[in-house]
A and B are shown apart, each in its own frame.
Chain A
Amino acid sequence: GAVVSQHPSWVICKSGTSVKIECRSLDFQATTMFWYRQFPKQSLMLMATSNEGSKATYEQGVEKDKFLINHASLTLSTLTVTSAHPEDSSFYICSAREGASGANVLTFGAGSRLTVL
């Protein structure tokens, strides 16, 4: 089945630094990837839709200059949290749609837990 690899699985950084999270589709090409944020015991909150070769589409209320998304190839999307602050601490999860089988479903990465000190 479709596999999405996300790295790092956890990261701790100092306030004011930037952190990059990578999301790769291992066995399929993904023209579209999605980035979610999840707070404890809450559901997934869509942050942005990452489109290969073009600008990401951000959801309302998500700062595009704060959360930089780059989708440079059909198998890689990155999320950079710039000038991170403690309130950015969260669980970030990427996903990709694998439609080759005809099923329109999302495959998720394992998530990245960010802690900003």
Chain B
Amino acid sequence: QKEVEQDPGPLSVPEGAIVSLNCTYSNSAFQYFMWYRQYSRKGPELLMYTYSSGNKEDGRFTAQVDKSSKYISLFIRDSQPSDSATYLCATDSWGKFQFGAGTQVVVTP
């Protein structure tokens, strides 16, 4: 069993819709939770990170962590075609980073 599970998609949504992404993890010791966006043939770029449980909002992006259920989510409001990319969740515990498989998101005009 992978330490971080993420549905690879693809997830297709119409422009303006809310994109909902999620991951589950198995190790309760994970403290930091991150979401990265990766465009084709590019390195991942950090979107958001949260420490422990709770919500964090940044513009159209909202990250949620529920440590009791080991569930992390990313919501993208008012999605745009430029949001089409692969989104990877990641966690960290004592310097050991674990990545999900990445979910491919396609926002259609």
Contacts and interface: CB of A to CB of B under 8 A. Distances in A.
A4 B43 CA distance: 10
Interface of A: 4, 6, 32, 34, 41-44, 46, 91, 93, 95, 97, 103-111, 113
A110 B100 contact: no
Given A95-B43, A97-B95, 12 more contacts: A43-B100, A44-B99, A46-B97, A91-B41, A104-B95, A105-B34, A105-B49, A105-B92, A106-B46, A106-B92, A108-B43, A108-B44
11 contacts: A34-B97, A41-B8, A43-B99, A44-B88, A105-B34, A105-B46, A106-B46, A106-B92, A107-B46, A108-B46, A110-B42
A104 B88 contact: no
Chain B contact residues, majority secondary structure: strand
Interface string B28-41: 00011010100001
A110 B99 CA distance: 17
Interface string B87-109: 01010100101011110100000
Nearest to B4: A43
Nearest to A44: B99
User: What interface size band does chain B fall in?
Assistant: 20 to 34
Interface of B: 8, 31-32, 34, 36, 41-46, 49, 51, 88, 90, 92, 95, 97, 99-102, 104
Nearest to B6: A43
Given A43-B100, A43-B101, A44-B99, A105 B44 contact: no
Nearest to A105: B49
